[in-house]
Structure 1
Amino acid sequence: MKRVSVAQMKALEGQADASGLSYDQMMANAGLALAQAVHRRYFRRPTCSVLGLVGSGNNGGDCLIALRYLAEWGWQTQAYLLKERVGDEALLTDYRKAGGQVLGVNEDHDFEKLRQHALQADLIMDGVLGTGIRLPLKGDIQHALAVLKEIKDLPPVVAVDCPSGVDCDSGKAAKECLRADLTVCMAAIKAGLLKQPALGLAGEIYAVGIGLGDNLPAWAEADVDVMDARMAVENLPERPADSHKGTYGTCLIAAGSVNYCGAALLAARAAYRMGTGLVRVGVPGSIYDTLAGQLPEATWLILPHTSGVINSEAAKVVWKNLERVNALLIGPGWGLENETKEFLEDLLNLQKGKGNASPLGFVPEEHELKNASRKLPALVIDADGLKLLAQIENWQDKIQTAVLTPHPGEMAVMSGLSIAKIQADREAIAREYAQRWGHVLVLKGAMTIVANPAGEVAIIPMATSALATAGTGDVLAGMITGLIAQGLEPYTAAKTAAWLHARAGIKAARQLGSEASVMAGDVIAQLPQVLNEISS
C-alpha cells in the first residue's frame, strides 16, 4: 500500500467522490473490508465477542458497519457510542437488526459498563477518532480511553485506520491512546503511523482497499510503498506441484572466516528457508569441517585462504563455479583483512578480464579466460563486504546489478556521512544513494528502507529490538539472495525479504516471551510459520 498524508488522503477521497464513488459507498466498502480482516484474523468458534468503540466521524461509521457484518457472521457484538452520531439512524438500525447491542456514553457516566464490557470481550475495535484529531484529548473520549488503558488484561485491540489519539501526520500521540495489536488502514497507510511514538502504538499495520481507483491524480504524490502481508505474498514465487529444484534457482554464498564461522551457515539456512532450490556455500578451507556437517542440504566450495580468511586466489575458484548460479552473496563474516579486499577486487575485475594471473603466475587456461569473460550474477553485498567495497575506487561502476544491505554504521563508512545524519532522514538518504550508486539499497534498522535507482522506495513498517543481535543481518542477506535466485528482480526480492525478516523477528520474540532472548537462528526458525500465515 501507499503512504499518504492526511491532506493527500482527503484529496483522494474527494477525487473518488467526484468520479462517482460516493463517500457513503467508500464507508460501506471500508466497513466490509474491516470486518473481513477482523473475522479472518480473530474469529474462534463457537462464538467470539467484540466491543466496538464508536466515535462521531468516519472511523465510527466504518466501525458500525463492520460490527453489523460481524454480528451477521456469528459474533457477539457491542457498540459503545462515545459521541452521538447525527444522521446515522440507518447505520444504527441496520446494526441492531443484525442483533447488535448499543450503549451510549450518556448511559454510563462512571464508565463502569465500559469497563465490564471490555473485560468480557475477546476483542476491542477502536473506531473513536480518525485523522482529524486535535491534541490533547478532552471530555468523555479522554476519560473513556484512560479507563480502558488502566485495565491490566485488556483484550487485543484493532484500530480502525489509526489508534484513537494519534496525529496521522506528525506521529504524536495522546497519553490515553490505546496500543493496538493490529491497525487496519483504509486505502493507504497514514504517514504519522510510520513515526514514533505512533509506530509503537499501531501494532501490525495492514491496509485494505475501499474502492479508490488507481488512476486518481492524487496518487501521483504518494510515491512511497509500505510493505504489508498482501504485497509480500504476491511477490513470492509460485510453487507448482510438478516443479523440481532447478525451478527454484541456485545461489552461491561466499562467506565466513576463522573468526566468524556462523555467518555463512546463517545465510545459507535462510536462503533455503526462502525456497531456494540449491544453495552452494563457499568458505575458507579452515572452517569447512566445522560447518559442513551442520547443513547437509548445501553443496560446499572450499576457498583458498590465508590464516583463515578468504584470499585473492579464491576469486578464480568462485568464477569457475558460477555456472547456473543465479545469485551471489558476498561479505557476511569476512573480516576486514587486506587479503579479502584483494579477493573482492579480483572478483569484480575478472568480469572484465582484468584479474590477476592464475595461481603461481601460470598463464590462464582457455576455460579460465572463458569464465573471466562472463558477467557476475546478481549480487547481494553485506556486512564486511560493504566496508571493503568502499575502499575500491569507483566500485559502483564495476557491478552490474547489486543489492547493498548496510546498517547505519556501514552506510556511514560507504557514504562518508555521520550516523546521526543518516538516521535523521533515513528515507531521503536511502533514496539519494540508491540513485547515486545505481544499485538497490537496503538501509537496515527500525523501519528498514529499501530504495532502487529508479527512485522507488519501500518502507518496512516494523521495529523490534529482537533483530538487534548478531547474525540477523546475515539471515536477511541470505533471504534476499534466495529470492533473487528464484527469479525475483532485486528490488522486489529485497523489500519482500525485509518484510518477512521483520515479521519473523517479531514472531520469534513472541514465541520466546522476550525480545532480548531472540537469536538469529530463532528468526530463521520462524520463517516457515510466517510464510504459512500469509499464504493461507
Structure 2
Amino acid sequence: MIPIYRQNDIKSIDAALASAGMLEMAIAHAGFSVFTLAIEMLGGPYGKRVAVLHGPGNNGRDGLVAAELLRGAGVSVKEVVYGGAEYSDACTYSEMDLVIDGCFGIGLSRPFKAPPIGPEINVLAIDVPSGLAGDEGKVLGSAVKASATLCLTGIKLGVLISHGPDLCGDIYLAELGLGDPGLTSHREYLVDDFDLAQLGNLRSRTDHKWSHSVAVIAGSPGMDGAAHLVCDSAYFMGAGIVHLYTDMGNQRGDYGVETVVHQTAFADFDEPGKRAFFHELAHRFKSLVIGPGLGREPWMTELIEGVISCGLRTVIDADGIAAVPSIEWLASRIASDHPGVILTPHQGELRSLLERSGGKDAVDDLLQQNVCSFAGDFAAKSRASLLLKGGPTVVASREGACYLTSAPSASLAVAGSGDTLSGMLGAVLSYQGDMAKQAAITAHLHGLAGRSLSRGLSGDLARRARDILLRFEASGKSHWNGNLQRPTQIEGNLVAGKQLVVGYH
C-alpha cells in the first residue's frame, strides 16, 4: 500500500530535510523526475516547445530545475512567472506541446487564478494542480486542469478526493529516493494493484470447507437476485461453503447447487426459534453478510442486533444498513472484543443513517470534512469499520486506519454491483486478518473488474452486475503471484522512481 500524505506531513519532511542539509538535493531529484515524465509525455525532445509556470515556492524551484534539463535535451523552453503579463495571456500557451504547472503546491491557502490554458494543451502538474487544496481536494478560486500530476515524495490526499480526480488526470508518484524523514507512521493509505497479492494463497494446507464458511441473510419476494449475486460472489472469492437464509415467501429457490438454502420465516420467529437460529450462526460460520434484498420489515432491527451478538465478522449492507436506528445504537451493540462489523453504504444510505443519528442539520456539517477524516470519525463513534462506496471507495477502521482504492469505475454504478461486493467481502473476511485492510483490497479488485468492463466502450458504461463476476479472476490473476516489483527508474545517482498510481484515462 502507498502512504498518503497531508500538508503537515510534508512540512515535517521538508523541515527534516532542511535540518539535514538535504533540501537542495530533494529539489534536484524532484526536478529530474518532472523532466523524465515531461519527456515521456512529449514523446521525445526534438522540436518540442514547453512552457514552465513557476511560483515563489519549492514547486516553482522544481519546475526551474526541470526547465534547465529540458533545455539541455534540446527542448525550446519558456519560463513564465506566476502573476506576470505572459501568465495571463492565452497566446503564451497556444503553441506549446506541454505546459508544466509549478505555480503552487499544497501550501496554497488563498484563492488562485488559473492561467488561460486551452483544453487541447497537455499539462503536467507538479505535486498537485495549482489551486487544488492538498488536504481537502477543494478548489481555491480556480484551478489548473492537468493531463497528468506527478506527486513528489508521496501521494497527497487532495488529488484522490473531491475535485482532485477531475483536475489531476493520470497520477504519478516520484518517491525521490530520500527515505521518509520526519514521519514515523502513516494512518492513510492508497490501495494499488500490487496489494492484490495479499488475496492469493490465503488457505492453509489443513483447511476444509467449514474453515471459510459464510452465512448470507438476504433476499425477499421479488428481490431474490440480490441473494444470488451475494452467494455467487462469495464462492468466486474463496468461500468454502455458503448457507443462504432467506424469507419463506421467496419461493424461486434457484441459487445454484453449491449454495445451501434455508427458507426462513424471520417474521414468525418465537424466542426459542431466535435462540436456535443465532446459536447456529455463531457456531457454524466464520463470517456473515446481511442486508441485500432483505426488505424494510419491522423485525429487521432486532435481526441485526441478534446477528451482531453472534460475534462473527459481519458485513452489513443495503437494507441491513437501513435497519440500523443510529450510530449510537450500533456502538452500544458492538462489544470491544467483537471480531469486527463493517458497514458498506453508498452516500445515500450513509446520509439516511446520519439523519437518523443526528438530524438533517448535522449531516452537512459532518460531510464538510474530507472523506478520510469523516470516515475515521464515523468508525470511531460507531465501533464498526466503514466502507463508503464511491470514487474513490474509502475504508476506515475503528482503530483509526483509512484506505482509499485507486480503481474507481463508473461501470459499477449499476443495480447489484454492491451485492457482488458484499459477497466478495463475506468470503475474504472468513479468512482471519485486518478487516479494514482486507475490505479495501477487495473493493479495489471489485473496482478493477468494473473498469475492465468499460474498456473498448465509449466511456464508463454501466453493465450488468453479473458481468462483474466474470471479470474477478481476469482482473486479479496477474497480480496474485506475490512476485511483482514496483517500477523504479534509476539515472546516474538520481532516482526518478516514477510510477503510474491512478490512471483515469
Corresponding residue for 1:193? 159
Aligned residue in 2 for 1:82: 51
Q: Which amino acid aligns with 1:300?
A: V
| 8 A Cα contact 1:233 1:534, kept in partner | yes
Give the drift of 1:15.
Answer: 0.9
1:11 corresponds in structure 2 to 12
Cα distance, 1:415 vs structure 2:
2.8
- Report 1:58-77 matches (<5 A): 58=31, 61-66=32-37, 76-77=44-45
Q: 1:517 to 1:446 in 2, by over 3 A?
A: closer
Q: Deviations over 1:283-310 (max 9, x none)?
A: 33544644324xx4x3223132268x99
Kept after mapping to 2: 8 A contact 1:162/1:193: yes
Deviations 1:95-147 (A, max 9, x none): 788xx44122389x9999986774xxxxx795654516776457xxx35xx23
1:264 paired with 2:227, answer yes
**Aligned ranges 1:108-127 → 2 under 5 Å:** 118=97, 126=100
1:64-110 CA deviation, whole Å, 9 max, x = no partner? Answer: 14467x69xx963456442499999997787788xx44122389x99
Distance 1:241 1:345 in 2: 33
Q: Is the 8 A contact 1:276 1:486 kept in 2?
A: no
Q: Distance in 1 between matches of 2:423 and 2:410?
A: 20
Structure 1 residue 330, shift from structure 2 partner: 1.4
Aligned to 2:431: 486
Is 1:416 aligned to residue 358 of structure 2? yes
1:172 partner letter: V
In structure 1, what residue type is equivalent to 2:358? G
2:442 pairs with one of 497, 505, 508: 497
Map 1:81-160 to 2 at 5 A: 81-83=50-52, 100-105=73-78, 118=97, 126=100, 128-129=102-103, 131=105, 136-137=112-113, 142-143=115-116, 146-147=117-118, 149=119, 151=120, 159-160=125-126
Q: TM-score, normalised by structure 2?
A: 0.71
Instruction: Decide which of 322, 328, 331 is 1:387's aligned counterpart.
Output: 322
Partner of 2:394: 449
Structure 2 residue 145 is the aligned partner of structure 1 residue 178? yes
Query: Is the contact made by 1:224 and 1:459 (CA closer than 8 Å) also made in structure 2?
Result: no
Query: Is 1:253 paired with 2:213?
Result: no
Cα RMSD after superposing both structures = 4.5
Quick check: which one's helix share is greater? Answer: 1
| Long gaps (5+) in structure 2 | 55-60, 81-85, 485-505
Q: For 1:161 and 1:87, locate their aligned partners in 2 and report how far apart those are by CA, in whole Å.
A: 10
The 3-state SS of whatever aligns with 1:258 is: coil
Task: Determine if contact 1:260/1:334 at 8 Å carries over to the other structure.
Answer: yes
The partner residue of 2:245 within 264, 268, 282 is: 282
Deviation at 1:462, TM superposition (A): 6.9
- What is the distance in 1 between the residues matched to 2:440 and 2:233? 15
> Is the 8 Å Cα contact of residues 52 and 64 (structure 2) preserved in structure 1?
no
Change (3 A) 1:11 1:269: same
Which residues in structure 2 correspond to 1:220-231 (within 5 Å)?
224-229=187-192
Shift in alpha-carbon separation, 1:92–1:172, aligned structure 2, 3 A: closer
**Higher RCO structure, 1 or 2 (CA under 8 Å, sep 6+):** 2
Distance, in Å, in 2 between the alignment partners of 1:532 and 1:160 is: 34
The CA distance in 2 between the partners of 1:20 and 1:240, in whole Å, is 49
Structure having the higher Rg: 1
Aligned equivalents of 1:284, 1:404: Cα separation in 2: 22
Query: What is the letter of the counterpart of residue 15 of structure 1?
Result: A
**TM superposition score normalised by structure 1:** 0.68
Cα contact 1:404–1:439 (8 A) shared by 2 = yes
**Alpha carbons of structure 1 residues 495 and 67: separation in structure 2 relative to 1, 3 Å:** same
What is the aligned length? Answer: 452
Q: How does 1:321-470 map to 2 (within 5 A)?
A: 325-348=285-308, 351=310, 376-390=311-325, 394-397=332-335, 400-406=339-345, 407-412=349-354, 415-418=357-360, 419-425=363-369, 426-460=371-405, 466-470=411-415
Higher deviation after alignment, 312-321 or 8-17: 312-321
